Amino acid sequence: MKFAHLIRRTFTSIHNQPLTHSDMAVAQDLLLPDELNLWVRLQPRDQRHSLVVLERFDNILPLARATERRAALLHDLGKCESSLGVLGRILATIVGPRTDSFRRYLAHEEIGIQLLTSISDPRTLQVLRMDDDDAVGVALRRADEV
C-alpha cells in the first residue's frame, strides 16, 4: 500500500467544486462523445485529478497520440461506479474489499476498462491496461503518481 500516494491524494481530493469551463473544454476537445458522457459522471475531484494526470502525462510524453492521451483522462473512470467520498475511499484502501462499495472502488481500473470496451479505441484500452511492456502505459502510471 502506498501511503504517501494516499496522503497526497487525500489533500488533492478534499476540493470537490465543479470544474471551470476551460477545464471542461480540455476533456471535451480530447474525448470521444461516449467517453465524455461517462467521464462527466466522475466526481469533480476525480475529473480534476485526471486533468492533472493528463498534464503530467503530456510532460512525460509530449508526442503521445490522442488515443494515448485519452487514457490519462479515463484512467480512473471506474470510480464513477463508486459512491464513496474521501473518507470512504481512504477506509477502502486501508481495510480492503469488505463491502460492495469498497470492492467497486478498489476495482475501479477494471470497471473503467469494461465501461470503455465498446466505445474507446483499442489503443486507449491497451494503455489503460498499463502493461509493463508498454512504455506509454508505464508513463501513464508515472503520471498518476500525484
In this structure, is residue 43 part of a structural domain? yes
The model's pTM is 0.84
Count structural domains, the chain: 1
Mean pLDDT on 58-75: 97
For the stretch 77-93, pLDDT in tens is 999 888 888 888 888 88
83: containing domain: 3-12+32-143
For the stretch 87-141, pLDDT in tens is 888 888 888 888 888 988 888 899 999 999 999 999 999 999 987 788 999 999 9
Mean pLDDT on 17-39: 95
In this structure, is residue 86 part of a structural domain? yes
Which residues are within 8 A (CB) of 53 and not within 5 positions of it... i.e. 6 or more apart?
Answer: 72, 73, 75, 140, 143, 144, 146
Comparing C-alpha atoms, which of 84, 90, 77, 89 is closest to residue 49?
A: 77
In this structure, is residue 46 part of a structural domain? yes
For the stretch 8-25, pLDDT in tens is 555 555 666 888 999 999
